């Protein structure tokens, strides 16, 4: 078993606070490469969260804890409502849920991206029922320091309707993801590994809630039928 002395992403964010967009992009690219590897291997993770993202000493990520993972089968919908509430996609919260596995991972990755950029979660509440209402409504706030491109990617990933949510194949072509924000390594003398080499370790606010100063409310994403919104 590989030793990962860097701890998990939640601990890291608690120690350093929100990340510059270039560093957030570097880690997020690695996460997406790991998730894409899972999907290409016929596995959906279903419990992607900061605590399940481990770091090595060079701050490269390893996706872990596949206890809730499921096999992907063509034409087959998943029905188990599993995962961590604050990272759960809206379709998981329905009474009789049937859902496309990869799209719930996309939503959870969107929550992780938000936490990288903001050092907080997009959906929060004092009770689980209230939390679920906020997730299903799709309302959240984004601080003003977030770039326009990053806000757009968050909106596409945190789209309530899974059929209109951005896919991983579309995500990697998004301007914020595709354009290098980091011209030089974050860690002196250390370049981030190519996405293909990223390891996988198998083992809200309510609509009427006040928007914090320095933030804007993001309404639920409603792209045009047939694909993501322009």
Two tokens, residue 33 = 């490469």
Active-site entry in 8, 40, 47, 56: 47
Q: Which residue has the tokens 């301007």?
A: 175
d(C-alpha 123, C-alpha 95), whole Å = 20
Strands 43-44 and 70-71: antiparallel
Find the length of the chain.
Answer: 230
3-class DSSP state of 102: helix
Two tokens, residue 218 = 């993001």
d(C-alpha 72, C-alpha 27), whole Å = 25
3-class DSSP state of 171: helix
Look up 47 and say whether it is catalytic.
yes
Q: Which residues pair with 54 in a beta bridge?
A: 8, 62
Two tokens, residue 89 = 């996609």
Q: Which residues are catalytically annotated?
A: 47
């Amino acid at each position: 078993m590989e030793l990962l002395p860097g701890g998990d992403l939640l601990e890291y964010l608690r120690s350093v606070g929100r990340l510059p967009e270039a560093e957030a992009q570097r880690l997020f690219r690695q996460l997406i490469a790991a998730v894409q590897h899972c999907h290409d291997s016929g596995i959906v993770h279903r419990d992607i969260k900061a605590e399940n993202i481990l770091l090595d000493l060079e701050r490269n990520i390893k996706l872990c804890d596949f206890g809730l993972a499921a096999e992907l089968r063509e034409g087959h919908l998943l029905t188990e409502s599993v995962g961590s509430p604050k990272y759960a996609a809206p379709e998981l919260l329905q009474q009789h849920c049937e859902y496309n596995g990869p799209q719930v991972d996309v939503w959870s990755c969107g929550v992780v991206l938000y936490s990288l950029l903001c050092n907080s979660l997009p959906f929060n509440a004092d009770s689980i029922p209230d939390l679920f209402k906020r997730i299903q409504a799709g309302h959240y706030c984004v601080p003003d320091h977030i770039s326009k491109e990053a806000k757009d990617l968050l909106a596409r990933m945190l789209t309530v309707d899974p059929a209109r949510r951005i896919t991983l194949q579309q995500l990697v072509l998004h301007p914020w993801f595709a354009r290098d924000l980091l011209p030089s390594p974050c860690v002196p003398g250390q370049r981030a590994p190519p996405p293909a080499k990223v390891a996988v370790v198998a083992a809200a606010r309510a609509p009427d809630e006040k928007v914090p100063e320095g933030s804007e409310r993001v309404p639920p994403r409603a792209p045009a039928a047939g694909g993501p919104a322009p």
